[in-house]
Amino acid sequence: MGELSAAIAALDVGRTREVVEADLGAGRDPMELIDEARVGLQTVGEKFDAGEYFLIELVRAAQVFQEAAELINPKLQELYGGGESRGRVLLGTVAGDIHDLGKSIVKVLLECRGVEVMDLGVDVPAERFIEAAREFRPQVVGMSALLTAAIPQFKATIEAMEAAGVRSGVKTVVGGGTVIDLEASVVSADHVALDANEGVERMLEWLDAGAVEGGA
């Protein structure tokens, strides 16, 4: 495990900032830093699964990762930005859930690959997804949840979007630790992401293939 991934896994924001600043100053590729940061978050997830970390540590890990991302993103934009947008993705953690570890990874990975992202944050009601879909006109909407109790909000939100007329032409992805065994049809989604990387790859496939047109 590298220094950055170890700092994130230890939830040490000061050390995380220190390592990122030093590595960027030394000319390290920011994409490598993003990959290493992702490894740190994966370690956090493994600790959670093993009962070593709890929900509060997941929230903290997302905050530490965001600190790192805010330092890395300007360099990413300098080196890789400026090209044509690959599309627009709307992200949010559904109502009743405040955990966004996976969503934070997805956001950064998409932005690194030239996708415009609007992140609605956590505990997002269906009405806010609808409002943002009208405003942002995404081709893909990604929803996350960690708590089992929040899973019904996937279906409720997607069906509310459909009733409001903003679902046509928009692909939907759901993800989170509790959804892996779900069938997409159960929550009215187009895809259930196994993890952040797999979810991002599916979104990019749709965007690059032109499988979705124009959004809401």
Quick: pLDDT tens for 139-160: 999 999 988 889 999 999 999 9
Same domain, 146 and 74: no
Residues making up the chain, counted from first to last: 216
- At position 190, the amino acid (one-letter code) is D
Q: Which pLDDT score, from 0 to 100, does residue 214 have? A: 43
3-16: average pLDDT: 96
Give the CATH number for residue 11: 1.10.1240.10
Same domain, 28 and 105: no
Same domain, 99 and 192: yes
Q: Which pLDDT score, from 0 to 100, does residue 82 have? A: 62
Is 193 within 8 Å of 199 (Cβ atoms)? yes
Q: Which pLDDT score, from 0 to 100, does residue 171 have? A: 96
pTM of the model: 0.84
38-60: average pLDDT: 90
Residue 116, pLDDT above cutoff 60: yes
Same domain, 116 and 196: yes
Q: Which pLDDT score, from 0 to 100, does residue 211 have? A: 52
Same domain, 70 and 131: no
Give the CATH number for residue 204: 3.40.50.280
Q: Which pLDDT band holds residue 21 (cuts at 50, 70, 90)?
A: very high
Same domain, 97 and 204: yes
Strands 116-119 and 140-144: unpaired
With a CB cutoff of 8 Å and minimum separation 6, the contacts of 148 are 178
Is 133 within 8 Å of 170 (Cβ atoms)? yes
For the chain, what is the HEC assignment? CCHHHHHHHCCCHHHHHHHHHHHHHCCCCHHHHHHHHHHHHHHHHHHHHCCCCCHHHHHHHHHHHHHHHHHHHHHHHHHHCCCCCCCEEEEEEECCCCCCHHHHHHHHHHHHCCCEEEECCCCECHHHHHHHHHHHCCCEEEEECCCHHHCHHHHHHHHHHHHCCCCCCCEEEEECCCCCCCCHHHHCCCEECCCHHHHHHHHHHHHHHCCCCCCC
Domain enclosing residue 46, as ranges: 3-80
